[in-house]
Structure 1
Amino acid sequence: MTVISETEAHFTANSARDKHPLPATRNQAEHAVGAASAESEEVVRLHHVNRRFGTTQALKDVSLTVKRGEIVGIIGRSGAGKSTLIRCLNGLERPDDGIIEIEGNPITGLSEKQLQSVRSRVGMVFQHFNLLSAKTVEQNVALPLKIAGYDKAQRKARVAELLALVGLEDKAAQYPAALSGGQKQRVGIARALAANPALLLCDEATSALDPETTRSILALLQSLNQKLGITVLLITHEMEVIKKVAHRVAVLNGGEIIEEGPVWQVFAHPQSALTRTLLSGLLPQLPEALAEKLSQHRAGEAIYSVHYAAQDDVGQARQGEILTLMAAELAGQFRLIQGGVDHIQHYAVVRFFFSVPVANAESEQNILHWLQQQQAHVELIGYVTGHA
């Protein structure tokens, strides 16, 4: 019962039909999004938001803006406050203090009836799909439109358009039980888009899916963002998801945003220990056998890590360019241990580890000076005696 009532809380949101008319075609939908863009640059604004449950502070002084057309990821471990944040955004939770605005309209302090018109601008995609098993795909997608009072012809036209948009035009008459997990999530996305929202909230939308299906759903979200200009706020605990689709990322820990910025920048220069931990599976790491030998006693070899980001030139990746230059200009002065390059938002993001003999202080200084000139972030992580 709880799941259905939470889902229907979003469906009943579309009573303000005269304010946001339902586009009958995709062209009209795109025109409506373009018109709305002129109204407000910021789709979401949180300003010093706090939410407490007894002695537990689920959100602590959270401030964040999401601009129209952005895909912004909110990442954090279980218990970080992600679910509370998303429930505050869709009006299912009320913050104790602070300001939340959707398209410039404050939602804190609104009555349940007043919240309905705000929710009409917010689509919700759930982790476990939340489809009604007794209704067909077509009926599930049409449900928010039916509740809002659209006639049968309008509903049928809009549902057909949406199912084509998510690649399920041949599944309209099927029931959820006959669908795969990825197909169910596509139905959930189509339903969330039914009333042409300005904002799509995705709450762990891929965490119940296998890796291949996850990739297809993320590609769909990217496509919808590009075709419709829809703003997406993605709640996840998977940094891989952030890397694939988000433009910006905010790291949530203990109810606080501890780091925020463009995805490429956060990958290239993670500031917090938590962010570095979340990235550990995606970025090259020091070999375990070598890490176990690390000491703070200056002897043997000094081990350094390097983070570096360079913008790709007209889409041509500058793969490993810093290593090529380093090897050419400082040949024989260092030993490369491990490294790799990734490409995020037209940036080549490089991380590698190298060592230099402590006895050769001149080489060490030459290398550090050269890397600083390249605007690379260099960190001494310890010393080892002998080779790993």
Structure 2
Amino acid sequence: MPVPADAASGVADGVPNQSAAAKPVVRLDDVRRHFGTTPALDGISLTVAKGEILGLIGRSGAGKSTLIRCLNGLERPDSGVIEIEGSDIVGLSEEQLQPLRRRIGMIFQHFNLLSAKTVEDNVALPLKIAGWDRAKRLARARELLDLVGLTDKARAYPRALSGGQKQRVGIARALAANPALILSDEATSALDPETTGSILALLKDINARLGVTILLITHEMEVVRQVADRVAVIDKGRIVEEGPVWSVFSRPEADTTKALLSGVRASLPRHVAARLAPSATARGEMIVSIDITGPQAATLLPGLATEIAGWRLIHGGVETIQERPVGRFFLALPVSSLATLQAHLVPSGAHLEVLGHVADDV
């Protein structure tokens, strides 16, 4: 199915274009929320463009849950602006929040399905609350069950479904009222890796087909890598880093981001790291890391072979993130080769870091 024009124009190369960025679905400005003297949100400013998938990632206790509760009006910030489709929700009464909440769909970690209702009735529940008659809401529910691949489960009950199927029902329910924004709160944390992959593929497909904006709250960098256009990293109630996924994955700057990426990004083997020394020895080698993006990532090592003698690849390689080659290499080479290596890397924009020295071959 063709991608709607408004969805296709919202994000380019992982960065919202000016038109989309001018009218974000979500805009937060200096949002603060304290519990006693503890800041849960400490000056959060963030936008989510129309049609974008933004991954908000952080450790437990970083402020993710408080932020999502502020976005759907379940928690009131102490100060700051929270706009959903241009409307500031901070000062709204509970009655005034109701129509706005219908513009926000929620996907939960543990599905939150009603066990006594059929699958189609679970999907149709938001429409029942909104006052739709039964025939129309069931027709809409069946349309959405077809979208998520569960047409044959309409009359089943949640107890008969697998975890992945339950989450597909949750996604269908979140879409019931044609929301402008989907909030996904750790939606894949309770699923196995294979099922997680299928759910993320479904979310990506729905985003492309319907142009719906998605904010993914997660602690899993692999989830962000697979589905998000952009990532924001939250730590101790603050956004410490944000940018296109390929950019943040290729060269993380914040210590929190580096720690979160440690499980999905190539790193120096432990047996080498354990032998690193700060100073060179007469017969030793220098250990360096190289981060590089773009087509030149695939040609970096062959190019080095013609200019530098005696280097060796210890670890690393090239992967594709958001259709961009992203390379990370760990090399051992003679200390005398550093200047030549630096000159070779300048045209490519690669980032070079000297990690230390080893006394002999590793």
- Is structure 2 residue 353 aligned with structure 1 residue 353? no
8 Å CA contact 1:304–1:378 kept in 2: the answer is yes
Whole-Å separation in 2 of the counterparts to 1:79 and 1:356: 42
Equivalences for 1:153-302 in 2 at 5 Å? 153-299=135-281, 300-302=284-286
Query: Structure 1 38/283 Cα, relative in aligned 2: closer, same or farther at 3 Å?
Result: closer
Q: 1:341 aligns with which of 310, 318, 340?
A: 318
Farther-moved stretch of structure 1 (202-211 vs 37-46) = 37-46
SS of the counterpart of 1:42? coil
- Indicate whether 1:129 and 2:111 are aligned: yes
Contact 1:40–1:103 (Cα < 8 Å) also in 2 = no
Query: Using a 3 Å threshold, how does the CA distance of structure 1 residues 375 and 101 change in structure 2: closer, same or farther?
Result: same
Other-structure match for 1:384: 358
Is 2:38 the partner of 1:56? yes
**Counterpart residue type for residue 298 of structure 2:** G
Q: Choose the corresponding residue for 1:107, options 74, 77, 89.
A: 89
Q: Which residue of 1 aligns with 2:309?
A: 332
Q: Which whole-Å deviations, capped at 9, do the CAs of 1:171-205 have from their partners, x for residues lacking one? A: 01010000000000000010010000000000000
Give per-residue Cα distances to partners, 1:9-54, cap 9 Å, x unaligned.
xxxxxxxxxxxxxxxxx99xx79989xx999731000001111000
Q: Give the match for residue 11 of structure 2.
A: none
Show CA shifts across 1:52-86 (max 9, x none): 00011001111000000000000011000000111
Distance 2:72 2:193 in 1: 28
In structure 2, the CA distance between the partners of 1:100 and 1:357, relative to structure 1 (3 Å rule), is same
Give the letter for the 2:288 counterpart. Answer: Y
Secondary structure of the 2:286 match is strand
After superposition, give the CA deviation of every residue in 1:99-119 in whole Å (9 maximum; x if it has no partner): 000001100011001011111
- Note closer, same or farther for the CA distance 1:366–1:40 as it changes in structure 2 (3 Å cut): closer
Structure 1 unaligned segments of length 5 or more: list them. 1-25, 312-317
Match of residue 342, structure 2, among 341, 365, 368:
368
Whether contact under 8 Å (1:40, 1:104) holds in the other structure is no
Amino acid across the alignment from 2:292: Y
| 2:14 paired residue number | none
AA of the residue aligned to 1:320: A
The separation in 2 between residues aligned to 1:294 and 1:58, in whole angstroms, is 39
5+ residue gaps, structure 2, are 9-18
Listed as ranges, the matches of 1:67-78 within 5 Å are 67-78=49-60
Distance 1:232 1:383 in 2: 45
Deviation at 1:285, TM superposition (A): 1.3
TM-superposed deviation, 1:364: 1.7
* Equivalent in the alignment of 1:12: none
Q: Is residue 243–residue 344 contact of structure 1 (8 Å, CA) maintained in 2?
A: yes
1:372 Cα offset (Å): 2.1
Q: Contact 1:33/1:198 (CA < 8 Å) preserved in 2?
A: no
CA offset at residue 373 of structure 1?
2.3
Return the letter of the residue paired with 1:160. Answer: R
Match of 2:349, as an amino acid? Q
> How many aligned positions are there?
350
The alignment partner of 1:173 has SS state of coil
* Aligned counterpart for 2:129 among listed residues 143, 147, 153: 147
**Alpha-carbon distance in structure 2 between the residues aligned to 1:323 and 1:95:** 51
Distance 2:317 2:66 in 1: 36
What SS is found at the alignment partner of 2:25? strand
1:95 maps to: 77
In 2, Cα distance between equivalents of 1:155 and 1:53: 40
Q: Is the 8 A contact 1:159 1:194 kept in 2?
A: yes
> What's the secondary structure of 1:218's corresponding residue?
helix
The residue aligned with 2:15 is none
Name the residue aligned to 1:307.
291
Stretch moving more, 272-281 or 198-207: 272-281
Cα pair 2:229 2:322 within 8 Å, conserved: yes
Structure 1 segments (4+ residues) deviating >2 Å: 30-34, 37-41
Q: Deviations over 1:336-355 (max 9, x none)?
A: 21111110112100000112
Partner of 1:46: 28
Task: Tell me what 2:16 maps to.
Answer: none
Measured in 1, the distance between the counterparts of 2:84 and 2:56 equals: 17
Q: TM-score, normalised to structure 2's length? A: 0.93
